[in-house]
Structure 1
Amino acid sequence: MSTRCLRPGCPGSYLPDGHCDECGRRAPAAPAVGPHTTTPSGAGAPTSPATHSSGRESASTGGGTVPSRGSSSSGSRGSARSRSAARGGLGAGLVEIARVPLRDPAAAVMAEPRVAESRRFCVRCDNPVGRGRDDRPGRAEGFCPHCGTQFSFLPRLGAGDVINGRYEILGALAYGGLGWIYLARDRNVSDTVSDRWVVLKGLINTSDTDAMASAVAERRFLVELDHPNIVKIHDFVEHPDPRTGTPVGYIVMEYVGGHSLRDMLLTRRRDTGQRALPLPEVIAYGVEILPALDYLHDHNLLFCDFKPDNVIHAEEQLKLIDLGAVRHVDDMASAIFGTPGYQAPEVGTRGPSIASDIYTVGRALAVLSLDFRGFTTTYANRLPEPADAPLLAAEMSYHRLLRRATHPDPDRRFSSAAEMSEQLLGVLREVLSAADGVPRPVVSRQFTPERRAFGTEAGEVTPAVAGQLRRTGEVRPGALAPAPPVVAAALPLPQVDILDPGAGFLASLGTTDPTELVRQLAAAPVRSVEVALRLVRARIEAGDLAGAGADLNRLAAADPCDWRVNWYRGLAALTGNRPAEARVAFDTVYDALPGEPAARLALAVSAECTGDRELATRLYDRVWRADHGYLSAAFGLARIRFLVGDRAGALAVLDQVPESSSQHVAAQVAAVRASLPGLSATGAADDLLRASARLERLGLDVERQTRLTIEVLEVALAWVRSRPGATGRGRVLGHELSERGLRFGLERTYRTLAQLSRDPELRIALVDHANAVRPRTLV
């Protein structure tokens, strides 16, 4: 049973977290409490201070809130939330965002509350009303000359008015599509130490039946909402209109004293001349506010009118405000409110949905991060092309995220705000790591880790690799591109959905033989998507690519939006040595999961196998910077950099493979080979000495050390022989950098390798080679 608040005059009760649900004060440690109890956030501070944007409630950069008609369709996802969640997490622990100080409530009151003539429209026929003529100002009250509907754009309340015997009005704060909002002091909670400020939202025109119905709807369900990123609705009261005596409803909500994201964007433009907010900051805002929308969707509610105007940044927290457009997903009758430039194009015909809410978030992110001129006209239903928006050209993953969020087909958008938030957070990690080079890995909820690293041949020391690498005395690790079938067996796999009916059966499978797995899965007692996908994987591993393709076609017909189908299409194409087909499939996966490094890695290697080194380099680099767990990306990036002549860049990447990694030695071996100069290279002697020092530090076993020593000495000998009479200072692996010294070194190394060989014929061949390379002597 809840305990009533002990604060004098407060009708609230204490929540389980110890705070009053009405005044927000913490329960005292002892029963005896005076009127000056210290607040948890500091004495004298308002409980949840913040204004509903500075001077605006529902205005946008492209116009006001516009009602439209249509049906409603949506779904919901279940999860629990609590208002006692941790506060101050803006930036997800990844971005430092400056605190926005709380504003003095009294300073937020409008000195002369008025609605600009350019924003005066009839609520019935949408024609302009109250406009001036012949240098005379327009009337703020009157009747529409087109349909006769009465209009009024004057606030109904003034300073000193007391509503419901409790809320004392200080003045008007803002105006918007659904009505005026006023700042008031709650007499039941305020005292001589601190005031509890609240906001009352009324109606611009009491004759607007749609607006009246919206207010009644807010009274029914919005008071039950309880999320730290959604403005709290405290009460619903009525007060007679001072002119007509007609009861007018007012919603009482918490006062949020920061700045709207729109105001922050306009301030940046005014102060710096830059027309967009920094991308990490914009993404952090999206990551912070999407859970609030997910909370609404979990409660079968739609926000409908998300835009930068309706998000307040106060101190270290964001708040969704202006809940006037919120509606139930099954509401088929009431008016639908939205804003041009943000509202999804299908809302007018299909009605609002979770997908249309996702669309508004994508559009808001675009407006905040791009120089998005014409977003209500030229780009009303599309994004600018990367050629016209440099940020989209530079940040491929962010561009793909915006494209999916604002896809013309609602079924192609993110299925939930939670899914969008997860991918947006992945994009944020990528953007930050690309900027400062600091990896920000995280365990993926969609993919397993790499099953093994691929493309590491340049780090292997075997007879086959050594022979393949040797090209007239020149070592070229970049010449070894990964084989597509090898890549298919190494790439990450989609995680199994533990809620799938067949997850338990899949966990019980013990065999790893692909043929036996195909037999068991084909006879599985449970039929489900996960079982079908596992069967596809088994068919691919068994070489039955036709059977895998047929299964994938059936899965795609059942769910065209399941990205896993395209992932396995890509694996099948690589297994069949068809990298161009794999590239198309993985490109589709990247569109669906722009925040997943695994998707970028798969597209990178497919691009490399099709000869597109530019795209492959860009993607490998982004994957490696964000997560050093993707070792294949490091080898791929080094491989291509070496091929295009960037040896320093290749070495820098290989040196970033950590010592704790299973591929650290392989990376250093590849670095030794990448360090070796060409025959005509300038500074080759210094390069040889550096390669020698690298190899000596490695501490390989005797056989690998010997084989790699031969490679280095042969390159050194070829270089010296290409420059008759030339010698270098220093010693290469203990041998003088001259033809005579290097020949003696090679002779001894070949003889050592012969002693290690168990093949008699190979041993003889190595001894013969040692004799052949030995310099001429008198003995």
Structure 2
Amino acid sequence: MSRAGAGSGRRRGAGAAGPLVRARPGRLRPGPEVPDVPLRSAEPVAEEHRFCANPACGEPVGRGSAGEPGRTKGFCPRCGTRFDFAQPSGLTIAGRYDVERVLGSGAYGAAYLVHDRNLATHVVLKALNKSVARTALHERDVLVGLRHDSIVRILGYEHEGPHLVLEYVPGVPLSAGDGDRLEALLAHGIRILQALDYLHARGLLHCDVKPLNIIRFRERSPAGTLDRVRLIDFGAVRSQKDAGPVVAYTPPYAPPEGDPEHRRPTPGFDLYSLGMTLREMCHSRWTDRSVPGVDSLRLLLDRATDTEQPWRRFVSARQFAEQLSGVIRQVVAAAPVHRQVARPSALFGSMPEPLHGGLGAARPLAHWVEARPGEDATLTMRAPFASPEPGDIAAALPAPLSDPDAPDMAGSAGRALAESRLALRRKDPELAERTLAAAGLPDWHWLHAWYSGLIALAREDARSAARAFGTVREAVPGELIPQLALGLCAELRGDLAAARSRYSAVFDTTPALGAAGFGLARVHLLSGERTEAVGTAVRLAQEFRYEREARVAAVRLSVVFLDEPAHREPTGDDLERAGAGLDGLDVDAAAAAGLRAEIRYAHFLHHRDREQLSDAIRELGPHAPTEREYVALVDLANRLRPPLRWRRAGRRGRTGESRFGGAPRTLSS
């Protein structure tokens, strides 16, 4: 079906956003081309255009009465001439527009594909009922002033009818085809949000956003065929200053009756409608919530169309688009696309702290000082790494920059949040809680939940922190920081499967969040997946900020042994990989000695070569900060030496006699 400018579907009844986030969806690989669809011709000629074909008569025919539609076929009651208005062929309007097909019809009239004799091209003629002529003039005046690439363009106005003359967009109503990728469909949502942001910034509301009013079409360009969309049908448009309830809308896509948006509509009315449109378009593609990005999309549309708590819904196109573009990033990072789209967050600051839990540095010297050898020379030592401390996590997670559509955070509320943040860095959760209360944020707002989660972490309550961070994720599902926080909480609780899922989603989308990469490596190793753990560290090493720590982690992950049922000893390939990774690693002498000792200990577990392990421990001695620790390391090295074995030699006459009269004893290893 091809149509433009007609408000199809059943209708009931006859604050400016800032610059929109540029998510650059056009950089995504285009999806399958929009097919050429035969023009729909089943719609009859609109009743206001039904006149007798007899030139001597010309009376209106086929008109309805008493609420009943008129007949499309029959005979003129005055002259008996036969008429058939099932097809519009032969109809000319205003002496220049030859009607070819009906594109659609709605409460305000029909839309025809016509050939403009003067311009020698196809245009759309939107016929409006005379009873809504004032609306037609209003729609004309609105469209004349709009210049946006995703909004249908007006070409003229004909008083006869009256009619709007609109550009012809040879496409189909927005829908999901069998070959369409999810990210391509969501990119259309970004484009419509850009159009709505443009519209709302001019104080206007569309009030009838739905799939039939979004035309998807192909556009030729030097770069190839582009998959585009355009918002049409401004018959229900109104000013944000207009008083009174909405009187023209399509119920399945509009907020329910009784919703605040009906009494005093705001941009939220259009945003709700777009949320319902995206929900309908994507419902067949989100059956598996385990797919990265799909769960985020569900949360996004749940917020956009929340009827239980309408205050949770998006209040500006910019706010909606920021989260939708974040969801797109998560979708394209997953299989089979595997693309990473770099984009800084508008809500959270950067997070340089890697939270590697000890993996990104050589084992502390104290671990070797305190090591206790067994009879077989295996060492009892502290754990080689650990999950980050909850207080350290609370201090490292970034502070929200702001919410562009939240109450003003620059005054006393902003100062209170800054004080709460400072208290968390000082690890004073009681003061942080008091200052958060002084900020006066509503309990339902995600900023309040974020700080509540940090305070819970500072109190080492990972379960309560996870509940708070879950509330944040529901509010801003396009953000990665809340998912990272949930992954850290899951790791603290020992839920490795949940931690792996959260860390993977974040790391696959943005490897620059090093804490997710180190967390994923830890979880892989704890799950007995050494190869995957090392591979994660190698991927993270491609990020310049974390290159050194990640390369150290790759060496350590190759040789670390954990006393866990799922864990296995390093293989020969692991040992070889660790040695190769150590070569050329830019670390100081103490760290290099520590890494060599760890590699040698892994060799010992394989080959039981006590002498080489002893030598590696002895090399740590010069780096000890105190004499006591130096002595402890030397003692450990001596105790790890191979055991002394004595054997008798021949008699003195042949090999010499012991000074005690017996055979001399010789040292053998």
In the other structure, the counterpart of 1:179 is 109
Shift of 1:392: 7.5
What SS does structure 2 have at the residue aligned with 1:580? helix
Alignment of 1:286-325 (within 5 A): 286-315=189-218, 316=226, 317-325=228-236
Aligned to 1:566: 449
Do structure 1's residue 250 and structure 2's residue 139 form an aligned pair? no
Deviations 1:381-417 (A, max 9, x none): xxxxx8xx32587622111111111111332111211
**Offset from partner CA, 1:22-75 (integer Å, 9 cap, x none):** xxxxxxxxxxxxxxxxxxxxxxxxxxxx9426xx9444xxxx222159xxxxx3
Give 1:371's aligned residue.
284
The answer for unaligned runs of 5 or more in structure 1 is: 1-49, 70-74, 121-138, 240-247, 373-385, 504-525, 721-737
Secondary structure of 1:568's match?
A: helix
**Residues 5-154 of structure 1 mapped to structure 2, 5 A cutoff:** 51-52=2-3, 57-59=6-8, 64-68=9-13, 75-79=15-19, 91-100=25-34, 108=39, 110=41, 113=44, 141-143=63-65, 148-149=66-67, 151-152=69-70
Q: Deviations over 1:699-721 (max 9, x none)?
A: 5332112122222222332x34x
- Number of the residue aligned with 1:661: 544
- Percent identity, please: 32
The residue aligned with 1:136 is: none
* Letter matched to residue 533 of structure 1: L
Is 2:433 the partner of 1:552?
A: no
Aligned residue in 2 for 1:230: 151
| Distance in 2 of aligned mates of 1:369 and 1:199 | 29
Question: 1:432: Cα distance to partner?
Answer: 0.7
Aligned equivalent of 1:597, options 471, 476, 480: 480
- State the aligned residue count: 599
Helix, strand or coil at the partner of 2:467: helix
- Find out whether 1:399 has 2:298 as its counterpart: yes
TM-score by length of 2: 0.80
The answer for the alignment partner of 1:625 in structure 2 is 508
Correspondent of 1:747 among 603, 609, 614: 614
2:326 is aligned with 1:429: no
Residue correspondence of structure 1 range 682-721 to structure 2 within 5 A: 684-698=571-585, 700-717=587-604, 719-720=605-606
* CA distance, structure 2, for counterparts of residue 459 and residue 468 of structure 1: 21
> Which residue of the partner structure matches residue 447 of structure 1?
348
Offset of residue 464 of structure 1:
4.0
Which residue number corresponds to residue 315 of structure 2? 415
Secondary structure at the aligned position of 2:396 is classed as coil
Instruction: State the one-letter code of the partner of 1:235.
Output: G
CA distance in 1: counterparts of 2:367 and 2:514, whole angstroms: 20
How far did 1:625 drift?
A: 0.7
Match of 1:481 among 387, 403, 410: 387
Do the aligned partners of residues 109 and 715 (structure 1) sit closer, same or farther apart at CA in structure 2, a change above 3 Å counting? closer
Name the CA distance, whole Å, in 1 between partners of 2:211 and 2:454.
41
Distance 1:594 1:501 in 2: 20
Shift of 1:692: 3.1
Following TM superposition, by how much is the alpha carbon of 1:297 offset from its aligned partner in structure 2, in angstroms? 1.2
Q: What secondary structure does 1:253 align onto?
A: strand
Judged with a 3 Å threshold, the aligned counterparts in structure 2 of structure 1 residues 331 and 309 are, in CA distance, closer, same or farther, namely: same
Displacement of 1:560 in angstroms is: 4.8
Q: Which amino acid aligns with 2:496?
A: R
* Aligned residues: CA RMSD: 3.6
CA distance in 2, matches of 1:501, 1:324: 34
How does 1:447-596 map onto structure 2 within 5 Å? 447-461=348-362, 462-464=364-366, 473=379, 480-495=386-401, 527-557=411-441, 559-560=442-443, 562-596=445-479
| Correspondence for 1:764 | 631
Q: 1:607 aligns with which of 476, 480, 490?
A: 490
CA contact (8 A) 2:157 2:163 kept: yes
**Residue 457 of structure 1 aligns to a residue in which SS?**
coil
Q: Distance in 2 between matches of 1:560 and 1:454?
A: 29
Alignment correspondent of 1:330 = 241
Q: Secondary structure at the match of 1:325?
A: coil
Q: What is the TM-score with the length of structure 1 in the denominator?
A: 0.69
Cα distance change, pair 253–662 in 1 and its aligned pair in 2 (3 A):
closer
Q: Distance in 1 between matches of 2:404 and 2:277?
A: 34
Shift of 1:181: 0.6
- What's the offset of the Cα at 1:443? 1.4
- Shift in Å at residue 290 of structure 1? 0.9
Counterpart code for 1:429: R
Work out the CA distance in 2 between the residues paired with 1:637 and 1:108: 53
Aligned mates of 1:478, 1:366 — CA distance in 2: 47
Distance 2:32 2:582 in 1: 48
Change (3 A) 1:692 1:219: closer
- Cα 1:663–1:91 shift into 2, 3 Å: closer
For 2:67, give the aligned amino acid. T
* Runs of 5+ consecutive residues of structure 2 not aligned to the other structure: 48-60, 73-84, 219-225, 645-665
Residues 746 and 544 of structure 1, relative CA distance in 2, 3 Å threshold: closer
1:496 Cα offset (Å): 5.4
Q: 1:199 aligns with which of 121, 124, 130?
A: 124
Q: Partner amino acid for 2:437?
A: N
Give per-residue Cα distances to partners, 1:63-100, cap 9 Å, x unaligned: x222159xxxxx3225599xxxx9xx983312323443
Against the structure 1 CA distance between its residues 597 and 184, is the aligned structure 2 distance closer, same or farther, given a 3 Å change threshold?
Answer: same
> Which amino acid is 1:337 matched to?
A
Tell me the distance in 2 between the aligned counterparts of 1:278 and 1:501: 37
C-alpha displacement at 1:421, in angstroms? Answer: 1.1
- Contact 2:154–2:167 (CA under 8 A) maintained in structure 1: yes
Deviation at 1:632, TM superposition (A): 0.4
Taking structure 1 as reference, are residues 647 and 151 closer, same or farther at Cα in structure 2, changes over 3 Å only? same
In structure 1, distance between residues paired with 2:384 and 2:618: 30
> Cα distance, 1:326 vs. partner?
1.9
Q: 1:744 to 1:181 in 2, by over 3 A?
A: same
Q: CA deviation at 1:445?
A: 1.6
What is the CA-CA distance between 1:318 and the residue it aligns to? Answer: 1.2
Q: What corresponds to 1:42 in structure 2?
A: none
For the 8 Å contact 1:556–1:562, the answer to whether it is kept is no
Letter in 2 for 1:417: A
How far is 1:673 from its partner? Answer: 2.7
Change (3 A) 1:642 1:474: farther
Is the CA contact 2:367–2:382 (under 8 Å) kept in the aligned structure 1? no
> Is the alpha carbon distance of 1:167 and 1:569 closer, same or farther for their aligned partners in structure 2, counting shifts above 3 Å?
same
Contact 1:356 1:410 (8 Å CA) reproduced: no
C-alpha displacement of 1:173:
2.4
Q: Is the 8 A contact 1:477 1:673 kept in 2?
A: no
- Residue 710 of structure 1 aligns to a residue whose secondary structure is helix
Shift of 1:694: 2.8
Secondary structure of 1:357's counterpart equals helix
Looking at structure 2, the residues matched to 500 and 291 of structure 1 have their Cα atoms a distance apart, in angstroms, of 20
Secondary structure of the structure 1 residue equivalent to 2:64: strand
Q: Is the 8 A contact 1:358 1:414 kept in 2?
A: yes
Whether the aligned pair in 2 keeps the contact of 1:494 and 1:564 (CA below 8 Å) is: yes
**2:252 pairs with 1:345:** no
Q: Aligned equivalents of 1:466 and 1:635: distance in 2? A: 23
Q: Is the 8 A contact 2:101 2:113 kept in 1?
A: yes
The Cα shift of 1:500 comes to 11
